[in-house]
Every structure is written in structure tokens, then in C-alpha cells.
Amino acid sequence: VVDSLLVVQMNYSRFLTSVSAARETSPIRALTAIMLKSPPSLISLAGGVPNVNTFPFKKASITVNDGSVVEIGEDLMRTALQYSSSQGYPALLSWLTDLQKSCHNPPTLNYSPENGKMDVCVTAGSQEGLSKVFDMLISPGDNILLDEPTYAGTLAALRPLRCNIVKVPADNHGIIPQSLKDILSRWTPGDPKTPKFLYTIPNGGNPTGISLSTERKEAIYKIAREYDFLIIEDDPYYFLQFTKPWAPTFLSMDVDGRVIRTDSMSKILSSGLRIGFVTGPQPLIERIVLHVQTSTLHTSTFTQVMTSQLLHQWGLEGFLQHVDRVVDFYRSQRDVMLSSAEKWLTGLAEWQCPAAGMFLWMKINGISDTEKMIMEKAFKKEVLFAPGNGFLIDKSKPCPYVRASFSSSSPEQIDQLPCELKSAPKLAPKFAPKSAPKEALMPGSET
């Protein structure tokens, strides 16, 4: 697929910040890893773990909506209440590693660890993973690449790191490879100021709903090889693609070990449980695990045990059946949103059919700054759409776009779409008055 399959020998150390490079294993955490692998007969006076018998919770039985039950008996509960490995609760980690193998079959699977063998780390949501990836790679003044508009949480994590965010032009099909090439021609390959990475949301972009085609991904990967930068593939909507077959991922093309992929269970199992996972070359995943060791220690063991039990009960097949049901739901919500937009907003706004995810990105004709319009409504306690400027590198710029989420409103609420826009002065006369909208389309979602 990629022109030359000759593997490039990656020099990972050149990407790391001095802080990340200085991280070392904590001796206590190393002991925890040994203890987790030891037989129960091991008498250990080494660990500083609390005695689980003092903890008040005994066992749990969690009913699943397919009628099955996740049982956490007394023994498993003891495990679930205790410290665990920073890389992830072993049973969950192995299930997720198998998932990555079967979804992406990464070329790096059988590499040696130093050459970038694929590795996985569980994180408390993909946001934690992203934040740690950025902390690992960005020193002030570094150049990095991304396509705008993009996820506000990413921009919020990046801005304080004082990197120089270089915008890569994109169209209705995502990043334009030739434009990426043109931008990179400012640097010669090997120049230490060459951008360290490209960040992108390859499926159902937040906020645009756009997905990158296979051809474009291949072209972008080729450019990454030429200029030796990493690709951060932030793909929380991978399992929410509306059409099959699902597009091959950057991870699936990664012959060199230059892709860091963040996955999320937030749209599939639960957003509040906080389960995500980072997949990438071992030398980089190791840096992230060391960072986890000094921050959260690990994602909640209870959360991981609960998730792991369900996933092992389901198997890959059961998981994918669940994914299908979720996709069917979001596809029908999207269709309701599209017909409502067509019915009410034709000629007043422009949009594109989202290929994945839960957002419709609309350009409101005749409005230059949707933030002003929306803030006036928010003031009246009718929080509706997310104004587009929040997804721009420079959020102080006016933006004619809004993001409408179709994830959690009823079809009736979605059909109130035009009401929500009625305060827009130019649009107002076109709509018949309706009853005041309830807090509806964009109920203050955090993401």
C-alpha cells in the first residue's frame, strides 16, 4: 500500500521533551507489576498497598441491557478495589490488544520493542491519553500540524504548551495531501524545526463530521515518512462510522511505527466510566505509562474490571454486535437531523452529511459570528448549539458555523432546529413562531 515498505529506523528520542525523556520507573510501581504476576501464595511485605479487607464494598452484580449480568464476586471485588498496573488491568489490556490486532492488524505487531512494536496503554478516556501524548512530545516553540476546525479539548490541551500550531488546509474530504506537502516545503527533511506530528480526527471529525478517505490517508502517511513526523490518530468515532466497510486506519498502514492512535469507549460503553486506550510504538507507550505512574497511577481498577468482564463475556463478536446497534441509533438520529435541516434550513444554512459520529456542522448564511448569536440565547438559558469559533486555533476569530449534536435529543426536539435559530436577525422572519424551545439541541455537552 505504502510505496516503499522498507522500514525506516525510527529515532524516537528526538521527538521527546526533556521532561518525558527524564521519566524513570518508580521502584514501588515496578514491584506492583511483579506482584501482579506472582502466585497468590507470595507473601509480600514489599508493597505499600492498603488492606482490601478494610474496604466496605463486598460484591456487585451489574445488569446489562441484553439481559446478561456482569458478576463481580468477592475475590474479583478485592482485585477491583486495589491498585493495579499503570499500563492497565491485565485482562482488559489483553482484550484491547486483541481488538487492535483484529481491527487494524498493525504491521508493527511483530517488531522488536525498540523498533516500535505495537503496545497499548489504558487511559481514563482518550482525553487523558491525548493530553499525555502532547505532554510527551511538545516543548515550547515546537511546530505541530493539525486541520482546523478541530476538537476543542485538543486545542485546550495544546495552547498552554505554547507550540506553534500550523494549520493544514482541508476540504469536505479532510486534509488535502498536496496542501500538507506545500506547507512542509518550508522545511527540508531532517531540519529539527520540522513539525513533530500531525494531529487529526480521521472519522466523523469533531465538529465537522468529515472522514478521511483511504487514498488520502495513504498519501499523508507517505508525506509523514518523507518529513519524519508522527501521526496522532484521534479516533473516538471509529466505531460510529455509518457505512461499511470501515476505512483502514493510519495504524493499519504504520510500517515504521510512527502512528499514535487514541481510542475511546466513551461513545460505545460509557463516557462516565472513563475508559480509553493509546496504541503506538513501545518506546512511546512506555513514556506514557511512566507519566501515568506519576499522575493517576492507573485508570480506576473497578471501572476496568467491570469493562473487562463485559468484554470477555461478549467476545469480539458480541462487542461488534453492540457497536452495530449503537451505529443504527446514531444513523437514524443523523437522518432525522438531516431531514429537519433540509425542511427548515435549505437556503439559510449549508452543511454536509456526516460520515460518522454525532455532529452536524452548519454554516449559517448571512451570520459572520455565531458565538454572539448563541451567547445571547444562552443568556436566556436556552443553550443550543456549540458556536464554531471554539473549534478554531484562534478562538477569538468570528466564525459563521455552529455544531449541532444529534446524540441525545428526541426526533421531536431535533425538529425544533429552526426555532433555535430564530433569534438570528436575518433568519427570524422566515420562521413561524413556535413555543419556546426547551433546553434541547446542544445541552451543554462537554465535548
C-beta of 234: minimal distance to ligand PLP in Å? 5
Pairing of the two strands 164-167 and 230-234:
unpaired
Of 311 and 367, which has the nearer Cβ to ligand PLP?
311
Binding mask 144-173 for ligand PLP (x = CB under 6 A): -------x-x--------------------
C-beta of 296: minimal distance to ligand PMP in Å? 7
SS3 167: strand
Rule CB under 6 A: choose which of 149, 209, 236, 418 binds ligand PLP: 236
166 scored as a contact of ligand PMP (CB under 6 A) = no
Pairing of the two strands 60-63 and 164-167:
unpaired
208 scored as a contact of ligand PLP (CB under 6 A) = no
**Binding site partner of 48, from ligand PLP, ligand PMP, none, Cβ cut-off 5-8 A by kind:** ligand PMP
Of 292 and 327, which has the nearer Cβ to ligand PMP?
292
Number of residues that bind ligand PMP (CB under 6 A): 2
CB-based burial label for 115 (10 Å; 0-12, 13-18, 19+):
middle
- Choices 112-120, 125-133, 160-168, 381-389; region in contact with ligand PLP by CB under 6 A: 125-133
Pairing of the two strands 276-281 and 118-123:
antiparallel
192 scored as a contact of ligand PMP (CB under 6 A) = no
Q: How far apart are CA 200 and CA 189, in angstroms?
A: 21
Of 36 and 297, which has the nearer Cβ to ligand PMP?
297
Q: How far apart are CA 385 and CA 374, in angstroms?
A: 7
* Positions in 261-320 near ligand PMP (CB under 6 A): 297
Strand partners, 234: 262
CA distances from 397 to 242, 378, 387, 425 (A): 32, 19, 11, 20
Rule CB under 6 A: choose which of 26, 97, 179, 271 binds ligand PLP: 271
Rule CB under 6 A: choose which of 39, 40, 48, 429 binds ligand PMP: 48
CB-based burial label for 313 (10 Å; 0-12, 13-18, 19+):
middle
**Binding site partner of 297, from ligand PMP, ligand PLP, none, Cβ cut-off 5-8 A by kind:** ligand PMP
Contact 343, 127 (CB under 8 A): no
Of 29 and 196, which has the nearer Cβ to ligand PMP?
29
Helix, strand, coil share (%) of the chain residues, nearest 5: 40, 15, 45
Nearest one of 336, 377, 378 to 360, comparing CA atoms? 336
* Interface ranges with ligand PMP (CB under 6 A): 48, 297
* Interface ranges with ligand PLP (CB under 6 A): 125-127, 151, 153, 201, 206, 234, 236, 264, 266, 271, 276, 447
